[in-house]
A and B are shown apart, each in its own frame.
Chain A
Amino acid sequence: MSGEVSQLEELKAAIRGQLDSLDCVIGWEQGYDPLHATPLFIRSEADLERLTISPLAVHNPATYTTGFKGKKIGLVVRGCHSRSVIELLNEKLIERDEVVLFGLCCDGVVSQRKIRAALPADPGFVEAVELGKDELHITVAGEQATLKLQEVLADKCLHCAYPDPLVADVLIGEKHAPRQAASPACQDAFEALGNEEKLAFWQDTMSRCIRCYACRNVCPMCVCQDHCIATSRDHLWMSQENTPVENFMFQMIHVSHLTGRCTECGECERACPVDIPLMLLRRYMNKQVREVFGHQAGIALDKTPPLLTFQVEEARIKERDW
């Protein structure tokens, strides 16, 4: 815990030093209750005082960068967030000299869904949260509960290969030893299902979708913004009918537009108000891209996503042998 406190102070000092030259710095503060953080747009010393970097601070600040075009802003980024920044830079959607990156070597963030499942009462009744080194002490509806941080970490953090920012102007915390990425158990379990079972799963799950487009708007790589094919009214490319088929169709469009671009920050799944496990689709697509193109989005600067360019002869697609 003391480590985190000193890191927070170190981070604040770094931000303080540059705040005058930046339009704002995007980090996190405590949200509407002790269990939830919310993005913080730091413009003054008073704002800076509210900054938090606890594992509850989950939002990907890279999502907001394209809204600040032409202005210079700062971002507090974890490893996965830095991948989104790299991808945005690679696609020339933002300029490197318009972002100052305050990087955090990250030990993972929580999944509110896992916290909900682990608590003895509805997290809506939370009264207090105390962060220990490896656990969360939560008072909910008058009851005390201690949750092991490891058990409530977001799936993306469990086998994260890039906990440390891959690009940063200031780096806070200690770098981790190299790690091996792995797909989470939920992914393997889903992919092991037969087609009929997968179909039944999506039919049921997509019946919950209300097409609020939180998954789209929170995605740092969804940059069509106001011109998305799903909501264009002239022409109406997609039916507005709210059926599992149409809802799934939108998700297919979403995931295919992210081919080779998705940095697996998990924001789509986190943002979904009805808990649709959208990362099942993202991870599967990313696996295909790794296998076919040997490409992984946002891990190196100056790389173009494979579908935004073409090679006369793709190294792994043996067309001549077809």
Chain B
Amino acid sequence: MERFITQDNLQRFAAGLAEKKNVLAPVASGGTTTFRRLRPGMQLDFSRMAVISPKDATFPRNETLLTVQHYPEESGKRMELQEHLPEGEMVVIGCRPCGTRGKLVFDPVYETQAIKDPYYIRRRDGATFITLACARPETTCFCHSVGSGPADEEGSDILLTAVEGGFVAKAVTEKGEQLLGDSLFEDAGAKAEEAAASNASARKLMGEAHDFSSAAEKLLKRFDDMDFWQTQSDKCISCGACTYMCPTCYCFNITDDEAGLVSRRLRTWDNCMSHTFTLEGSGHNPRSTKAHRLKNRMGHKFSYYPDLHGGQIACCGCGRCIKQCPAGVDIRQVVMAAQEYPDER
């Protein structure tokens, strides 16, 4: 089903949804655009890809997993434990296909036969993704090289395509179809063709895709070549901008915040580029330098993860890690350098 909505009506539609549900949308503030909880008076900003990915919707940067209330000994009670499972629904509006697809990398890890992460699963199942197709690639975009494209519908409930005067909205799931029943949506008519043409043109503008299929094997071949990784990581400053911007990075840390008799167990995003990520209790650190850590980040996304999960690359090609890296480390260049490295005779 395809419908049309004007720009103003999309803003109205989002504001209406925000009265009933949590809505996460790109909002401009302080010279940048990030996903924010849509509050009355906030305007959607579709003028650029939001700097931070929509990962917060399904995997927030910080959440309280549980609270523990301890009791003084004389009370006879010891402690009470309260779990904080996420409640309610979340609608994400204006994410791009790459950001939406981030969760597809989470699924094989956080919902397996053996292990199910209830926090993630509840958020994912309670989330609706109204994705905006990209009209033109940025210099850092490479979704087409990791099995996607600028109008990829996978993971979305609705796909919006910008056309003259507004957007064509295509229902991808039943959940999406229900939302398109809102009276603010009109008959798409000839606009549907305009949207199809725009999506085809966007794909064409991306040019030829790079073939990463040899990366898994080639990265393993460089595993013990620390000279290679030292050179590749020269300019890296070992911060967390890349991993925290990344829609697919799913590692977390757990800490306990204690205050008096109450303690809260927090889960926060973790960052494999940080020294503490693999710091062991003994003081030993198997990834003691940024070269070791960069090797792991590249290897995980383009080799170890695909090996475990049917060849799926753990990267959605959004380019945020390239664009936001303070030193301009380019993930494509690093993986390609491993791919192009001459084989030993």
Contacts and interface: CB of A to CB of B under 8 A. Distances in A.
Interface of A: 24, 31-33, 36-39, 41, 59, 63-64, 113, 116-117, 122, 124-126, 141, 204-205, 208, 210-214, 216-218, 225-226, 231-233, 236, 239-243, 267, 270-271, 273-277
Given A59-B327, A125-B136, A274-B52, A217 B239 contact: yes
Contacts of A225: 275
Interface string B92-127: 000000000000000000000000000000000000
B237 interface: yes
Interface in B267-304: 268-269, 271, 274-276, 279
Given A212-B244, A214-B237, A275-B32, A242 B62 contact: yes
Given A32-B140, A205-B30, A241-B257, A210 B52 contact: yes
**A interface SS class:** loop
B48 A122 contact: yes
A24 to B, nearest CB: 8
A95 to B, nearest CB: 21
B255 A38 contact: no
**B interface SS class:** loop
B154 interface: no
User: Which 9 residue pairs across A and B have the least CB separation, nearest first?
Assistant: A124-B138, A38-B328, A271-B326, A226-B275, A33-B139, A242-B62, A217-B239, A212-B240, A273-B324
Contacts of B241: 212, 214, 271, 273
Given A124-B140, A231-B274, A242-B268, A216 B323 contact: no
A277 B32 CA distance: 11
The CB with the most chain B CB atoms within 10 A, among A211, A213, A274, is that of A274
B150 to A, nearest CB: 13
Contacts of A117: 31
Given A41-B235, A122-B48, A274-B32, A212 B322 contact: no
A32 B31 contact: no
B328 A39 contact: yes
Contacts of B140: 32-33, 124
B275 A208 contact: no
Interface string B195-231: 0000000000000000000000000000000000001
A180 B49 CA distance: 40
B139 A231 contact: no
A208 B328 contact: no
B211 to A, nearest CB: 19
Contacts, number: 141
A31 B326 CA distance: 12
11 contacts: A38-B328, A41-B235, A59-B327, A63-B237, A113-B31, A141-B136, A208-B34, A211-B240, A214-B326, A226-B275, A240-B257
B136 A213 contact: no
Interface residues of B, number: 49
B242 to A, nearest CB: 8
B276 A231 contact: yes
A233 B276 contact: yes
B169 to A, nearest CB: 23
B75 interface: no
Given A124-B140, A271-B239, A31 B328 contact: yes
A241 B62 CA distance: 6
A151 to B, nearest CB: 15
Contacts of A277: 30
A240 B237 contact: no
Contact of B327 (A38, A232, A236): A38
A222 B11 CA distance: 44
A218 B239 contact: yes
B275 A124 contact: no
B238 to A, nearest CB: 6
Interface in B22-77: 29-32, 34, 47-49, 51-52, 61-62
A30 B140 CA distance: 14
B330 interface: yes
Nearest to B31: A275
B287 to A, nearest CB: 11
